[in-house]
A and B are shown apart, each in its own frame.
Chain A
Amino acid sequence: MRKNGGAVSIELAKPFAGGPGKKLQVTVRHSPRHPYQHLGRFRIGVHALAEVDASPAGLPDPILKALQQPASERSDGAKKEVAAYYRTLAPELARLRNRLTEVSNARGYLALEIPTMPVSRSVEPREIRVLPRGNWMDDSGEVVEPGVPEFLLPVEHTSGARMTRLDFANWLVSPKNPLTARTFVNRLWRIYFGEGLTRTLEDLGSQGEWPSHPELLDWLAVEFRESGWNVKHLVKLIVMSSTYRQTSQVSSQLQDHDPVNRLLGRQARFRLDAELVRDNALAISGLLDATIGGPSAKPYQPAGYYAALNFPTREYVQDEGAALYRRGVYTHWQRTFLHPSLMAFDAPAREECTANRAASNTPLQALVLLNDPTYVEAARVFAEKIVREGGNSDESRLAWAFERALARSPTSTEQRVVHGLLQQQRTRYQQDVSAAQALVSTGEAPLATGIPFAELAAWTSVSRALLNLHETITRN
């Protein structure tokens, strides 16, 4: 077998004796290492010559013609062509040619790994009409062009009569248009205080709620815009303020005076959002993988949850290793069947734009925190951490566990109650070590070594209790 440029010649070991009714079957198998590395267009030829060589007949026409001329009569162009063609065959260049092929292949594979953004060429915009009563089959409505509602700041058109997307983008961030910055700032405020300065996050218009502190909202909006839309600057500004750093403890006088805390006389107390409930438990246990970006992650999910899907039917294949502990925002989003743990904590199905999530309080949330393997695993890994890092006595370990989960020391009552649970569970699991082993084997994290199962299981019960506290899933 000989390689000749883009051609391969194959000599049969035994001559094929043709004849009537005899068939020569040629099978071409494509088994490339890379899915894009297939033969493109190819031809198969058969001939009966005993030996194959690079006969003149195999040369491309222009080269053959040039070579048929005496060298002295060849034009410079033809000479160059012949030389270029020769470089594809010259044995002394084989090593370099191979190297070149390798490098250009490697480059091609690299290019395939770089995500590309499909871009469509802009075409003549379609005629858009108002649809009377929403009827898309009725084209009697008025022709309309891109624009913003009339009561807002008009959009400046840079070219022609029609508004372009660039015009709109400029309008969004124009110093004359306070709405974008105000809306963003208001939403950011909600993250740190549980409610926006205007509580209707999705509506800063006349149907929305008047802001509790209009001047503050405006000031923050201007600060945000003038900082070059620097989110970090804004976050620092908020979290370093004395308003943010207040306690959420409320005196009964303040409670009576301002029950829903519109005057920000205290910090707010609110439940963490769905993804953060998960992140928080994983972070407490030390399991959290905080890597930014990358493909979606598939954490534990009950079997059969996708049974109602079809076209095609789907089998959820859970990830392994570090991907199990990625942040909640990276959880795979099945549009019609959102991950049940996230759904239980009010993650929206993304079917409607949801600026403001509800923070419900349901028995399903209790079931998730009690029984979802994600939380049981986090608890048993947290238990291991408590035993290893929390000192040597029950007391110091309990104090350490409270610090880690709640960022505070336990009260004497808490210490007593949780210690009671620890002792009760310790006795119980010492009598049933196989149950202890089953509990501390939940999830795929490596089994702790060097700690007796019963001891680890008893601490797992303690850490399950801590991870289930209202305070643990609450931003206090």
Chain B
Amino acid sequence: MHGQGMPESFTQGQQIAQLQGKELKCYGPQFGFQRYGKSGQEICSLFPEIGSAADDICIIRSMYTEQINHDPAHTFMNTGSIIAGRPSMGSWLTYGLGAEAEDLPGFVVLMSSGKGGQMQPVASRQWHSGFLPSKFQGVKFQSKGDPVLYLNRPEGVSSHDQQEIVDVVNQLNRAKHDAVQDPEILTRISQYEMAFKMQTSVPGLMDVSQEPTRVLESYGARPGDGSFASNCLLARRLAERGVRFIQLYHRDWDHHDDVGHVKYKAEEVDRPTAALIRDLKERGMFDDTLIIWGGEFGRTPMAQGKGRDHHIKGFSVMLAGGGIKGGITHGATDDLGYSAVENPVSVHDLHATMLHLFGVDHTRLTYRYQGRNFRLTDVHGIVKKELFA
């Protein structure tokens, strides 16, 4: 079918993005697929390392979403709503479960960029707490400068000076609390203690040079390079320290013009992803850590030059660990890869399933705002029990 007209029966009345009103031609896979592992999962041959973990991962091939443009689709994937301002899934989860980390935020965001120029912007709303209290907001660690904004002391102030000042602040705050008995003051004191600890714990966390060479090599991470590989390693270190929700963004996937560039993306993400899975397994953390790997939508099976347009009717997401059954492929699209037809999974279903794996009933994790109870899944969401180990 490659190069032939896309049958109208597939596309009629459908929303598409930049190809709207253009001549639609089928565009076959540009890279081969291979079977990997005992399970024989079919994975694109650009991802041999992920292939080597085939028996640990579950591939959902029947995802669909409702939004054709990046920003709303991205917002939908993160917050379950296209209306900006709702809490992100990381905020919901930290609101619901709290976090074990004592000297780190419960929800951390890391971002890396690819070699290509297809950099979609990412808005901070993607990790915003919306109407939930802002302590549940994701904290984006910067790859350059202070890892956490305002983490570094002012010029001319030593760690000891800072400690002296924080001690005085806490002493005076405690005296104030003794006088007025306001519990907010006690919270303030503990937050200053936490902030002070973060000034040591965060640089310690970010300094991956302490990792054995073997580990650095398995991820393909060079300390301080800000790469996806380094961020995967940091994600493991954050998870080890009890951070509840860690979100890694790797930009540069918007291949309208040349889908061949996916091979550069594969070089950037294949090895670190597989290394993270292996590393978590070696440390006995794999069963307690859920990995969700995917984007806000897919790409068309129709050509846009040598590239592909945005596509919402069928795309893939990979899950691993955290109670997910490994080595399975869930759902399928139609013969031309247009629509999810077998066991379709909506974004709300993905959220419901994720919350279930964390022991949370998605219908009962609510927050009252503007006169009604809100949920991450709104009035939708089906827990996909078939995916569970």
**Residue positions of A touching B, CB distance < 8 A:** 200, 202-203, 205, 207-208, 248-250, 252, 255, 269, 271, 302-305, 307-311, 335-338, 340-341, 343-344, 346, 349, 351-352, 358, 360-368, 370-373, 376, 411, 413-414, 417-418, 420-421, 424-425, 428, 434-442, 457, 461, 464-465, 468-471, 474
B153 within 8 A of A: yes
Asked if B165 and A337 make an inter-chain contact with CB atoms under 8 angstroms apart, the answer reads no
B180 within 8 A of A: yes
Partner among A302, A367, A425, A465 whose Cβ is within 8 Å of the Cβ of B169: A465
Measured CA separation A471–B171 after assembly (Å): 13
With a CB–CB cut-off of 8 A, which chain A residues contact B195? 363-364, 366-367, 370
Asked if A205 and B156 make an inter-chain contact with CB atoms under 8 angstroms apart, the answer reads no
Asked if B198 and A363 make an inter-chain contact with CB atoms under 8 angstroms apart, the answer reads yes
Residue of B with least CB distance to A314: B121
Pick from A338, A370, A418, A424 the residue with the most CB of B within 10 Å.
A370
Measured CA separation A250–B123 after assembly (Å): 44
Tell me, rounded to whole Å, the shortest Cβ–Cβ distance linking A424 to chain B: 6
B125 within 8 A of A: yes
Asked if B180 and A358 make an inter-chain contact with CB atoms under 8 angstroms apart, the answer reads no
B134 within 8 A of A: yes
Asked if B371 and A349 make an inter-chain contact with CB atoms under 8 angstroms apart, the answer reads no
Asked if A351 and B173 make an inter-chain contact with CB atoms under 8 angstroms apart, the answer reads no
Tell me, rounded to whole Å, the shortest Cβ–Cβ distance linking A153 to chain B: 20
With a CB–CB cut-off of 8 A, which chain A residues contact B119? 310
With a CB–CB cut-off of 8 A, which chain A residues contact B188? 361, 366, 470
Contact flag A417-B168 (CB < 8 Å), given A337-B124, A349-B85: yes
Measured CA separation A203–B370 after assembly (Å): 7
Residue of A with least CB distance to B124: A337
Tell me, rounded to whole Å, the shortest Cβ–Cβ distance linking B236 to chain A: 23
With a CB–CB cut-off of 8 A, which chain B residues contact A421? 164-165, 168
With a CB–CB cut-off of 8 A, which chain A residues contact B168? 417-418, 420-421, 465
Asked if B191 and A250 make an inter-chain contact with CB atoms under 8 angstroms apart, the answer reads no
Residue of B with least CB distance to A252: B181
B113-140 residues at the A interface, CB under 8 angstroms? 119-125, 128, 130-131, 133-135, 139
With a CB–CB cut-off of 8 A, which chain B residues contact A470? 173, 176, 184-185, 188
Measured CA separation A346–B134 after assembly (Å): 6
Measured CA separation A202–B143 after assembly (Å): 39
Tell me, rounded to whole Å, the shortest Cβ–Cβ distance linking A363 to chain B: 4
Residue of A with least CB distance to B103: A363
Pick from A343, A363, A434, A435 the residue with the most CB of B within 10 Å.
A363
Asked if A469 and B175 make an inter-chain contact with CB atoms under 8 angstroms apart, the answer reads no
Asked if B142 and A304 make an inter-chain contact with CB atoms under 8 angstroms apart, the answer reads yes
B166 within 8 A of A: yes
With a CB–CB cut-off of 8 A, which chain B residues contact A202? 370-371
Asked if A366 and B191 make an inter-chain contact with CB atoms under 8 angstroms apart, the answer reads yes
Partner among A208, A368, A461 whose Cβ is within 8 Å of the Cβ of B164: A461
12 new A-B contacts, CB < 8 A, other than A269-B182, A421-B164, are: A249-B180, A252-B181, A308-B123, A309-B121, A336-B121, A361-B135, A363-B105, A366-B188, A366-B195, A371-B154, A440-B156, A442-B154
List 19 A-B residue pairs with CB atoms under 8 Å apart, sorted by A's residue number: A200-B371, A255-B181, A269-B184, A308-B123, A310-B121, A337-B123, A349-B128, A363-B192, A364-B149, A364-B195, A366-B192, A367-B195, A370-B165, A370-B166, A418-B172, A435-B157, A436-B156, A469-B176, A471-B173
Partner among A346, A352, A367 whose Cβ is within 8 Å of the Cβ of B198: A367
Asked if B191 and A363 make an inter-chain contact with CB atoms under 8 angstroms apart, the answer reads yes
B225 within 8 A of A: no
With a CB–CB cut-off of 8 A, which chain B residues contact A352? 83-85, 130-131
With a CB–CB cut-off of 8 A, which chain A residues contact B318? none
Measured CA separation A435–B156 after assembly (Å): 4
Partner among A207, A309, A336, A363 whose Cβ is within 8 Å of the Cβ of B371: A207
Q: Which 4 A-B pairs give the minimum distances between C-beta atoms?
A: A352-B85, A439-B156, A438-B156, A207-B371
Measured CA separation A95–B171 after assembly (Å): 78
Tell me, rounded to whole Å, the shortest Cβ–Cβ distance linking B230 to chain A: 16
B22 within 8 A of A: no
With a CB–CB cut-off of 8 A, which chain B residues contact A303? 144-145
With a CB–CB cut-off of 8 A, which chain A residues contact B165? 370, 421, 461, 464-465, 468
Residue of A with least CB distance to B166: A370
